[in-house]
Structure 1
Amino acid sequence: MELEGESHLPEANGEVEEHRENEGGGGGGGGGGGEETMEESTEERESDSEESEEEEEEEEEESSEMDDEDCERRRGECLDEMSDLEKQFQELKEKLFRERLNQVKVKLDEVLTGKAGEYREPLAALQSSMQIRTQVAGVYKELCLQVIKHKHECEVQGAKQHLESERTLLFDAMKTELLEKIRRLEEDRQNIDLSSEWSDEMRSKKCKRKNLLGRAERKKKVALVSGPFIVYMLRDIDILEDWAAIKKAKAALSPLKKKVESKSGCSISQ
C-alpha cells in the first residue's frame, strides 16, 4: 500500500509541472493572457491539492487497515513462536534434569562402591586422622596405666610403711608394758622373798635371843663381844626397804659384771 501511495504522488506532481509549463507558455503571449492563466493555475492548484489530500487520506485509511492486519498476523506468529520456545525450553529443562539426575545416581553409586575421587580423598584423610588419634589414645592409655600403677605402688608402700610403724609402735608398747609387768612381778617376788627371809631371820634371831637369855640366866654370865658390830636401831619397814634396794642394786650390777667378764675373756683370748 505504501508503494501505491508513492506512485500516485509523482503523477500529481507531473500534472502540476504540465500546468506550470502551460502557464509559462501563455506568459510569453501577453500581459492580459498572463493574468488569466495565473487565475486558472491557482484554481487548478487548489483542485489538485484537494484531490491529493483526498487520495492521501484514502491511502492512510488503507494503510492503517493493512497495519492492523499485519499486527494481528505478527502477533499470532509471535505467540506461536513463544509457545514453541516454551515447549523447547521445557523439553531442554526435562532433558537437563534427567541428565543431572543420572549424573547424581552415577556419583552416588561410585561413592557407595568407594570409587569416587571426591569421596576417597577425604576418606583417606579421615582414616589417617583416625590412626593418629588411635595412636595418641594408646600412648595416653599407657601413660594413664603407668600413673595408676605408680599410685597403686605408692599406696601399697604407704600402707606397708604405716603397718610397719604401727606394728613397731604396738610391739614397743606391748614390750614396755610386759617389761613393766615383769619388773613389778620381780619386785613383788623380791619383796616377798625379802619379807620371808626377814621373817625367817627375825624368827631365828628371836629364838637365838631366847636361847641366849635362857643360857645367860642360867649361867648368869655376861657375853663379851669382840670386834666391830652393828646395832640396828631402825624399824622393820625401813630395814625391808633397804634390803630391797640392795637386791635391786645387785640385780642391776649382775649383767654389767657379766658384760665386763665377757669383754675381758675376749681380750685375753685375743
Structure 2
Amino acid sequence: RLYKERLSQVDAKLQEVIAGKAPEYLEPLAALQENMQIRTKVAGIYRELCLESVKNKYECEIQASRQHCESEKLLLYDTVQSELEEKIRRLEEDRHSIDITSELWNDELQSRKKRKDPFSPDKKKPVFSLTFPRPYIVYMLQDLDILEDWTTIRKAMATLGPHRVKPEPPVKLEKHLHSARSEEGRLYYDGEWYGRGQTICIDKKDECPTSAIITTINHDEVWFKRPDGSKSKLYISQLQKGKYSIKHNHN
C-alpha cells in the first residue's frame, strides 16, 4: 500500500512537469530565462562597441592616408619646383656665357678684317657653322670678374696691330661698398653668415623692409621666399653695390 501511494505521488509530479506546472521546474526555468536575457543584452552592447571601434579605426586610417598623400604631394611639388628653378638658373648662365663668348668672337673677326691687306683681292670664303663649346670657367667667376677679364682682353687686342680700330671705352666698374660672397652653400655679408632656412630682413632704398626666408644660396644669387609664398632672387653683386641690404630677423 505504501508503495502504491509513493508511485501515485511520483506519477502526479511527472504529470505536473510534463504540463509545465511543477514548482521544481518553473523556478529553475525562470532563472535560466533571466540569465539568458542578461547575456543577450550584454552581447548586444558588446556588439555595438565593437562596431563603433571598427568604424573609428577605419576613419583614422582614412584620415592618416589623406594626410600622408597631402604631405607627399607638397614634398613632390617642392622637389620639382627646386629642380626647375635650378634648370632655369643654369640656362640663364649658359645664355649669358654664350653671349659674351659670341661677342668676343665677333670682335676678333672684325679685328682680323681690319688688319687684312687692302691691296689684295677679296676672296669668297666658305661659311662655316660655328658652335661654341660651353665655357665652364664662367661658372666659377662673378659677374664683375667676367667684366674685368673682358676689359683686359679688349685692351690686349687693341695693341695687336697699328690698323686696329679704336676700341670702346672699358666698362667702369663700381667699387664694392659691402663685402658679400657665397661659400659652401652659405652667404657671408658684412661680417655675418647666413644659411638656408634662416629668416632675414631685406631692405631697399625708398622701400619698406620686408621679411623673407632663405631657400637656396648659389655662387652669384640668393633665392628667398616671402610671407605670401612667392619666391624671388637677389644677386650677390646687388648686395656688394649696396642696392640691397640684409640682416638677421630675430622676431
Do both share a fold (TM > 0.5)? no
**Higher strand fraction: Structure 1 or Structure 2?**
2
Higher Cα Rg, which structure = 1
**Higher helix fraction: Structure 1 or Structure 2?**
1
Question: Which of the pair has the greater relative contact order for Cα pairs under 8 Å at 6+ separation?
Answer: 1
> TM-score, normalised to structure 1's length?
0.40
